[in-house]
Structure 1
Amino acid sequence: MTATLARPEIDDTAFARLENEGRLLNPLHKAITGVPGRVGFRGELALRFAPKLADEARPPELMCPQVMAIANVGESFVPFFAGYLLSFESLKDVAEVLGDTLSANGKYFLFCDNIDLSKKYQVPYNNATFYVLPILESTVYNELLDLLYLEKNDLKKKDTAGKLDAVANAALKFSAKFESISYEQGLALMGPVRNPNENRPV
């Protein structure tokens, strides 16, 4: 069952602007978690909206799926964010959409489909640093469990909020160092963008 959040609670967090802009979509969880004062979001972040035609609601042109993020009541920044990108190029969109909710002390993870499977990078952007990693384990959740040395069996009995808390708590302590590259260097290094619809039955 999806947990949804009362507006007064989300309005007191760094998620408020993103919610007001209609960017926090398809939530598995968008509510308080087991940590006092913490709001968690697990769903999709709309990065780029399609032009509106009359009153027709159109899906976003660009999304960051498989998002896991937290925000604390009374704070203006998002301390933890993770998501999936089909192309490294979209890091710019994520950074610009998150904008003033980014912090130099935040932990931000992007799992990209078109970077070298043997590489892991740190990419400074918008006064924050993004950990950019290849996606090997099919989902951001599984990738984070592997990266943060969390045992899936230990989390199985937890609900969505409990799993999000466990991942976020471990992510906030993450201190590994990877090769630092600029966004422009990443654009030069990235591979072709896969068509996500190929090999699917019509």
Structure 2
Amino acid sequence: MTTIDKTAFASLEAEGRLLNAVFKGPTATAGRFGFRGDIAIEFQQQKADEKRPPEKCVEQVIAACQEGEVGFSFLGGFLLSFGYIKLLAETLGEKLTPTGKYILYCDNIDLSKKYVINYAGATFYILPIDEATVYNELLEIFYLEKNDLKKLDTGGKTEAVVNGGLKFVGDKKFIQSTYDELLTLMGPVRNPYENRPV
């Protein structure tokens, strides 16, 4: 059975970056390990033994890799700001590969546009998030029926999304752009804690 220590997730696990996992384990595909949760990309400064939540995360992540391979074959997730891609790339390093499929929903890009960029040796599909979850958004762009997946457990749903992601090819609606260009076009970063009861 595939264990996390034989995968690209091993160093992230050791650094305490894999958070809020609803699934973390081998999938039905031989040698594949999947993860569904959040990945910390920037930690707060900690004093003494206090444990603080991370400063920045890729949230609602669905990701997978093959045992013995250095990179992720698929990763989908949500970023509060498009600009956090730099932190993501620095955190993941060689785990981002030219052959991997990486789809990121960003809170502060134009709701009417979709982009594709090459950055840090990998291709990223950048989309706005439409008040839904990454899971639901991915089902939509992969043409997966939610009802067909209802009977599956979390691991099975993760597997179905990863399989859909590996087949995904962006259409002509994706605008070819660059990281620097999208930095100039992105909107302000929303405070996720505003309007919440204290």
Query: Do both proteins adopt the same fold according to a TM-score greater than 0.5, normalized to the shorter chain?
Result: yes
Offset, 1:130: 0.7
User: What CA distance in whole angstroms lies between the structure 2 residues aligned with 1:174 and 1:144?
Assistant: 10
1:43 aligns with 2:37: yes
Q: Give CA-to-partner distance per residue, 1:146-172, whole Å, 9 cap, x none.
A: 111111000000000100111100110
Structure-2 separation of matches of 1:138 and 1:72: 29
CA distance in 1, matches of 2:121, 2:151: 37
Secondary structure at 1:11 match in 2: helix
Aligned equivalent of 1:59: 53
What per-residue deviation string (whole Å, max 9, x for no partner) do you get for residues 93-122 of structure 1? 111111111110100011011111111001
- Give deviations 1:44-69, integer Å, cap 9, x for gaps: 10010111211112111111110000
Task: Kindly provide the CA deviation profile for residues 62-84 of structure 1, in whole angstroms up to 9, marking residues without a partner as x.
Answer: 11110000011111110000110
For 2:41, what is the secondary structure of its paired residue? strand
2:148 is matched with which residue? 154
Q: Helix, strand or coil: the match of 1:141?
A: helix
Q: Measure, in 2, the Cα distance between the counterparts of 1:56 and 1:19.
A: 19
Give the Cα–Cα distance (whole angstroms) in 1 for the partners of residues 11 and 179 of structure 2. Answer: 25
Candidates 102, 109, 128, aligned match of 1:134:
128
User: 1:124, 1:57 → 2: CA distance?
Assistant: 35
Structure 2 unaligned blocks of 5 or more:
none
Runs of 4+ in 1 over 4 A off after TM superposition: none
Alignment of 1:160-199 (within 5 A): 160-177=154-171, 178-199=174-195
* One-letter amino acid of the counterpart of residue 158, structure 2: L
- Confirm or deny: 8 A CA contact 2:125 2:170 kept in the other structure: no
Matches within 5 A, 1:72-151: 72-151=66-145
Instruction: Give the CA deviation at 1:9.
Output: 1.2
Q: What TM-score results when the alignment is normalised by the length of structure 2?
A: 0.95
Q: Normalising to structure 1: TM-score of the pair?
A: 0.93
How many Å apart are 1:199 and its aligned residue?
A: 2.5
Question: Residue 81 of structure 1 contacts residue 108 of structure 1 at CA under 8 Å; is this kept in 2?
Answer: yes
Structure 1 runs not aligned, ≥5 long = 1-5
User: How many equivalent residue pairs?
Assistant: 196
